[in-house]
C-alpha cells in the first residue's frame, strides 16, 4: 500500500485538483476488516475527532452485521451527543430549469427536448416565496440549471428578492444556493447578496466515470467543478456544501471522495464544508444510467452512519428524494437538516396544479411529498425538535471562526434554545391545533433538559414575547 501522509499533503494546494482515484481505491482495497480497530475508530469519532481516510475505509470495509450495527449505534450516539435532537427544516425553490449541460441522470439536460423550460419572473418568485412563508418556511435553497441567463448577477438578484418578501409574520431568513460553479468574482457577488451556504455536488468523484455521465456543456470539466468551492473560499465565501450523487459509481469510493474533499478544504482553508449531501439517483425523464452501482437502502443507511462518524462536526442533509419511511430511519444516524413540503416543479408552491406529476416538468421524482406540517408532526412524535434557526450565520458565526461543535455546550446554549424559539413562532403562526399541542409538549420537555446550560427563565420570557407578537428573537 502506498503511504499518503495525511498531515503534510503536498497535493493539497489551493485551487488545485486533489482527487487521486488510485489513492482512494488503495485505502478501500487494502484496509482489512478489523473489529477491534473499528471499535477504536468509533470511539475516536465519539471523542469528536475527524477520521482519517484510512479509518473511513476501515468502517467501509466492516461488513459483519453486528459490526455494522455498532457503526450505526456509534452514529446515533454521536448525533445525540453533539447535535442533540434538533432537526433543521428548509425547502428547495427551483428558479429556472434552462440548462446547457447534458448530465445523463437529469431531467433538465439540454437534450431533453420534451422538458418544459421555464425561468420564474420576479413576480412569480415573489408569489412562490409568499406561499412558502404561508407554510411557515424560514430557510430556502434556491436551485438553478446551468445557463448563461443564470449568472452571478442574476443569482444575487433572486437572492435579494427572496430576502425582501415579507408576508404577515413570514420572512425568509436564510437563502442557500445550489447552482453551477462560479468564478471567484461570481462567488463574491453572491456572497454580497447575503447567501448562506453555496452548495455544489461533485456528482461522482471518479474522473473517468464523471466524464461518462457529463456529455456536454461546461459541466463536462471535472476539475472546474472540483475546485469550485476553493474559488468560493478564495472569494471569502467560507460557508460551502459538498455532495455526491450516489448510485453513479461505487458508494465506497464516493464516501472516500467526500472525506478527501473535506480534508482538502481543511488543509487549504482551515475550514471544512458546512454541509454534506448524499442524494441517490431517482427516476427522471430521459434517465440514462446503467444502474450497476445502485445503492441499496441498507448500504445507504451504513454510508450515512459512516459519514456522520468520519466528519463529526459537519451538517448532513437528507432530502425528499428518499421516501418517508427511509427518512425516518436514516435521520437517526446523524442527519441534521431535512426539507419539508418539497415541490420541484417550477411555480408549484403558489399554484394548485391538478395535473398528474409530470417528469418533463421536474428535474427528478421525489418520494416524500408530505407537507411541511406533516413532516413536523412526525418529527415531534419521534422526540425530535424541529428548528428554523438561522442565528449563527446572521451573527457571523460561520467558517473557521466558528464551529458549533468545538465550543463546549454550544448546541444546548444556542441551537436548542433557538430551535425552541423558532418552533414557538411556527406553533403560534402556522400550526394546526393538534400539531401545536404536540409542539408545546416537546418545548416543555426540552426546556427541562436545558436547566444548567441556558437561562431557561429568559427563554420562557421570550416565548411569551413571541406569543405577544414579537418575532425573530434569538441567542
Ligand atoms: N444545475 C446545477 C448543478 O448541476 O450543479 C444545480 C442544480 S441541480 C438542479 C442539483 C443536483 O440535483 C445535482 O447536483 C444532482 O446531484 C441532483 N440530481 C440531478 N439529477 C438527479 C436525479 N435524477 N436524481 C437525484 N438527484 C439528481
Ligand atoms: Fe443541468 Fe444541473 Fe441537470 Fe446537469 S444536473 S442537466 S447541470 S440542471
Q: What is the pLDDT of residues 350-374, one digit of tens each?
A: 985 445 556 667 889 999 999 999 9
On whether both 371 and 449 belong to a single domain, the answer is no
On whether both 387 and 448 belong to a single domain, the answer is no
The domain boundary residue, chosen from 394, 418, 444: 394
Q: pTM of this prediction? A: 0.96
What is the tally of structural domains in the chain? 2
> Average pLDDT in the 293-303 region?
98
Alpha-carbon 407 to chain mean position: 22
Q: Is 31 within the bounds of a domain?
A: no
245 lines ligand 1 (CB under 6 A): yes
Q: What is the CA radius of gyration of the chain?
A: 21
Taking CA atoms only, the protein residue closest to ligand 1 atom 17 is 245
On whether both 384 and 424 belong to a single domain, the answer is no
Cα(220)–Cα(166) distance, rounded to whole angstroms?
Answer: 39
The domain boundary residue, chosen from 332, 359, 394: 394
On whether both 297 and 328 belong to a single domain, the answer is yes
The rounded percent of the chain whose pLDDT value lies above 70 is: 94
Q: Is 128 within the bounds of a domain?
A: yes
On whether both 362 and 453 belong to a single domain, the answer is no
On whether both 371 and 268 belong to a single domain, the answer is yes
- Three cell numbers written together for 386: 424541529
469 phi-psi bin (left φ>0, alpha ψ -120 to 50, beta other): left
| Mean pLDDT over the full length of the chain | 93
Burial classification of residue 185, based on how many CB atoms lie within 10 Å of its CB (0-12 exposed, 13-18 middle, 19 or more buried): exposed
295 lines ligand 1 (CB under 6 A): no
On whether both 423 and 361 belong to a single domain, the answer is no
- Three cell numbers written together for 269: 482553508
- Three cell numbers written together for 314: 459537519
Q: Is 61 within the bounds of a domain?
A: no
Q: Flag whether pLDDT at 284 surpasses 90.
A: yes
| Residue 216: CA count within 13 A, CB half-sphere | 11
Range of the domain at 424: 409-467
What is the per-residue pLDDT across 414-439, written as a single tens digit (0 to 9) for each?
Answer: 899 999 999 999 999 999 999 999 99
Q: Counting atoms of ligand 2 from 1, which one is nearest the CA of 217?
A: 7
Q: Flag whether pLDDT at 407 surpasses 70.
A: no
Please report the pLDDT score of residue 5 as a whole number.
45
On whether both 249 and 362 belong to a single domain, the answer is yes
The domain boundary residue, chosen from 368, 394, 420: 394
On whether both 253 and 362 belong to a single domain, the answer is yes
Q: Is 267 within the bounds of a domain?
A: yes
Q: Counting atoms of ligand 2 from 1, which one is nearest the CA of 99?
A: 1
Report helix, strand or coil for 382. coil
103 lines ligand 2 (CB under 6 A): yes
How confident is residue 256, by pLDDT bands cut at 50, 70 and 90? Answer: very high
101 lines ligand 2 (CB under 6 A): yes
Look at 450 and 413; give whichever has higher pLDDT.
Answer: 450
107 phi-psi bin (left φ>0, alpha ψ -120 to 50, beta other): alpha
On whether both 320 and 177 belong to a single domain, the answer is yes
Cα(233)–Cα(231) distance, rounded to whole angstroms?
Answer: 5
Q: Tell how far the Cα of 146 is from the centroid of ligand 2, in angstroms.
A: 6
On whether both 312 and 419 belong to a single domain, the answer is no
On whether both 355 and 417 belong to a single domain, the answer is no
Encode 229-268 in three state secondary structure: HHHHHHCCCCCEEEEECECCCCHHHHHHHHHHHHHHHHHH
Please report the pLDDT score of residue 356 as a whole number.
55
Q: Is 419 within the bounds of a domain?
A: yes
Q: Is 422 within the bounds of a domain?
A: yes
Q: Read off the CATH number of the domain in which 293 is found.
A: 3.20.20.70
Cα(199)–Cα(242) distance, rounded to whole angstroms?
Answer: 6
* Residue 454, phi then psi, degrees to nearest 5: -140, 160
Q: Tell how far the Cα of 107 is from the centroid of ligand 2, in angstroms.
A: 8
Amino acid at each position: 500500500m502506498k503511504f499518503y501522509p495525511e498531515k503534510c499533503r503536498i497535493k493539497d494546494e489551493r485551487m488545485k485538483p486533489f482527487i487521486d482515484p488510485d489513492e482512494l481505491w488503495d485505502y478501500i482495497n487494502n484496509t482489512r476488516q478489523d473489529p477491534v480497530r473499528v471499535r477504536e475508530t468509533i470511539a475516536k469519532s465519539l471523542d469528536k475527532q475527524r477520521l482519517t481516510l484510512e479509518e473511513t475505509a476501515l468502517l467501509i470495509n466492516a461488513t459483519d452485521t453486528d459490526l455494522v450495527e455498532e457503526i450505526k449505534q456509534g452514529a446515533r450516539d454521536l448525533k445525540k451527543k453533539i447535535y442533540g435532537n434538533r432537526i433543521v427544516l428548509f425547502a428547495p425553490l427551483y428558479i429556472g430549469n434552462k440548462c446547457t449541460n447534458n448530465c445523463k441522470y437529469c431531467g433538465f439536460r439540454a437534450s431533453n427536448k420534451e422538458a418544459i423550460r421555464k425561468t420564474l419572473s420576479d413576480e412569480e418568485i415573489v408569489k412562490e416565496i409568499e406561499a412558502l412563508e404561508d407554510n411557515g418556511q424560514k430557510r430556502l435553497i434556491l436551485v438553478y440549471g446551468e445557463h448563461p441567463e443564470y449568472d452571478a448577477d442574476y443569482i444575487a438578484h433572486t437572492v435579494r428578492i427572496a430576502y425582501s418578501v415579507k408576508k404577515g409574520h413570514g420572512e425568509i431568513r436564510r437563502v442557500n444556493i445550489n447552482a453551477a460553479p462560479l468564478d471567484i468574482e461570481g462567488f463574491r457577488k453572491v456572497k454580497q447578496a447575503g447567501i448562506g451556504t453555496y452548495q455544489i455536488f461533485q456528482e461522482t468523484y471518479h474522473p473517468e466515470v464523471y466524464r461518462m455521465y457529463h456529455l456536454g456543456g461546461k459541466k463536462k470539466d471535472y476539475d472546474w467543478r472540483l475546485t469550485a468551492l476553493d474559488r468560493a473560499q478564495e472569494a471569502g465565501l467560507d460557508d460551502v456544501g459538498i455532495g455526491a450523487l450516489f448510485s453513479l459509481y461505487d458508494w465506497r469510493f464516493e464516501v472516500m471522495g467526500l472525506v478527501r474533499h473535506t480534508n482538502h478544504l481543511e488543509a487549504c482553508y482551515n475550514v471544512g464544508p458546512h454541509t454534506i449531501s448524499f442524494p441517490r439517483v431517482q427516476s427522471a425523464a430521459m434517465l440514462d444510467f446503467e444502474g450497476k452501482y445502485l445503492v441499496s437502502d441498507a448500504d445507504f443507511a451504513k454510508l450515512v452512519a459512516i459519514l456522520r462518524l468520519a466528519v463529526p462536526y459537519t451538517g448532513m442533509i437528507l432530502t425528499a428524494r428518499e421516501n418517508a419511511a427511509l427518512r425516518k430511519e436514516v435521520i437517526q444516524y446523524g442527519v441534521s437538516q431535512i426539507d419539508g413540503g418539497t415541490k420541484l416543479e417550477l411555480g408549484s408552491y403558489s399554484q394548485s396544479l391538478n395535473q398528474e406529476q409530470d417528469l418533463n416538468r421536474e428535474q427528478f421524482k421525489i418520494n416524500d411529498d408530505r407537507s411541511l406540517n406533516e413532516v413536523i408532526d412526525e418529527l415531534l412524535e419521534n422526540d425530535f425538535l424541529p428548528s428554523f434557526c438561522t442565528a449563527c450565520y446572521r451573527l457571523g458565526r460561520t467558517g473557521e471562526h466558528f464551529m458549533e461543535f468545538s465550543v463546549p455546550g454550544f448546541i444546548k446554549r444556542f441551537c436548542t434554545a433557538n430551535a425552541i424559539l423558532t418552533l414557538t413562532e411556527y406553533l403560534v403562526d402556522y400550526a394546526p391545533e393538534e400539531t401545536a399541542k404536540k409542539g408545546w409538549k416537546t418545548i416543555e420537555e426540552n426546556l427541562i433538559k436545558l436547566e444548567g446550560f441556558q437561562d431557561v427563565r429568559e427563554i420562557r420570557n421570550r416565548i411569551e414575547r413571541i406569543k405577544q407578537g414579537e418575532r425573530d428573537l434569538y441567542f
